[in-house]
Chain A
């Protein structure tokens, strides 16, 4: 048999299952089926499959489904609330630390001189100086980069910078979310 013709009738067989053929097409399909054993077998299999699918019932969930959805919804809302509170708390704590840091450092520097032995104090002061240099270098680098972007804006540099910032923020958010999820009731 002509394979292309059989392909066409295969499409019609599917339409016939849904009652979408007109009487002429139905007549042509049956005439073809009578002369093509391969298509006849396919038609019979397709019809049998349709019977099985039509006969299969709707499956219902176990009783108490609504209550389970409501419980899950409540848990999800609680989780969302906790994440928002956590993020706000994190920002607040960071702001407080940033505000309090100069006075704390100044106080420690004054009292440290009096309380700690000279070597220990010098060591702590060295660490502090090292951290300050590192942070101020990072800040300077960021400032230079920002100035460079402002003076000579290029789409590639801007995109790279935006991508690096996005990655950093995503990592930070992920760490926070993990932290918040661990605290949730299971």
Chain B
């Protein structure tokens, strides 16, 4: 007896002896894991996706420690004429209610903004709206006050007077959900004719939490249902369906249950985990169940023990290797610096390991316990015949046109892969949401009319009141202001300029400029504080006057634009005596984009390398490893090329694609090469071995690929665009892996006849 046969016999005996223990422990494991899952929490904070040790996070934390968290809630009011009395009354009532709310640390609204102006020899620093206009003359007067007011126009009122905004900074010591609930309640209590929208990062986080939950509730059951249908259609009887399906359920529960058990939180990326599990965990079960049906079909009178023995003999090793390569591919995610990507890697790999173990233990236990079973073809006869016909036709086509297949495949791959050059990276959270989503609509309005909802923060440390530093800050402010994609820039130098306008007349030298002495700047502040508030500049300068903050609002928060602004800021380093620290959400996002590229490259390299090594071991040849990697390389090039050509961006979710694709796609190649080798060893030659392999294992591979694609297809119904795109991309990737395994690999082997396929894979 061959060694593998010996192992198969031992495994058969072990499973038969311990079948009840295996069945009971698997069921218990599933139940316990299922109970733990609801304890999962969601983390909507994208900055937590990257390690706290990263420079952008450290710098942002430093700036936020000094100038407060820059997370702002934006309430937008839109109407054809926002300055109408009725509208302003509602805005005032909401603003007043917000001012009395404990969750708000400070706010900027039409009723808090001040106008600094010179009038009859007086510097008047007063509220922009002291009294709501009562007639058209007063309304016109207010409009004139807003126009050109550096602190009002495009900040609290849009230039076209159709929108107004209240920007409120939230207190991190009070639960954000509570604060947002109160804000929503205030808005509800103030019904208005005008349209009122809410936005800003806290609202984006709120929608992420609710949409992740909604998605999980909607997508996971849908994926399970689709999987059940696919299994029913392909495997026939419910008895055959329930075996791989129970593996799917239990392994999904285990991987999801580990999340709260380890103390990790759900994120948009983790949303992919149950879907990966549903799509992937059935693979080994399908191979086993389909093979069991084939065995029964050929020899209906076999005993349960004999069925198990034959099953193990033919599939034990390829399933084990498929599982190991899938785990290796998925573990490629460990090199990602995106934290949830690593977590998905660990959890999915654990889930697949559980699925693999249960497929090799639980399914045989169930097969033995329920009897050898049916051939599975009674009801799906016609479908199977159709599939068989298709596979036979495919094998004939490959045998006849192997050269052409290889040339056409190479050409298509080369053409599609050009898209890689134009692939886009997108880390903007706003783009997670579809165009009609309230978050997206509000963000677009903020970007269009209020300078942008995303910010870059620059902290300057030095003697801020010295004219050299203040002029340096002013040059930086004015330079960045002129850049494309920059909505507005706020700095203390602008306040100084406004004060100078109130002190000097237009024809005087000091008008709209930074004074030349520290004393003059200090005295300007004294002058301001006679009518201003201590908090008026708390976001722009610290009380000790040693640190200043330049806040840049972005109307275009694309990664390319953020890079340009970052470069411009660093150009000021050394030009004046102050150290420059650049941070803020947009900078974190830029780092995040860099991490996505690095993570993508490293996970791809690690996954490909590990899979190559495993394939080389499995096929006992480096050539075998190389050949087995062909469909993966082909799929990777096509997948990323397709992304570039169609404009699908590489983002937090799609960054996981390559590892998942390698992990899942490699199975098909192993199964095919193993089956080909089994047949070739029978001495039937290349052509017949190809034909037999395609018509036998090809069926399982197609069912498997359909299962994976169907499982992931539910992602197309996700509320997040990024997740939807992941769903489309899995279709393309797995489709290309399938073509690679059932078209390119057979054609390659027929054409080049590599010696490794002639070896005995099962021999030690």
A binds B: no
Interface residues of B (CB under 8 A from A): none
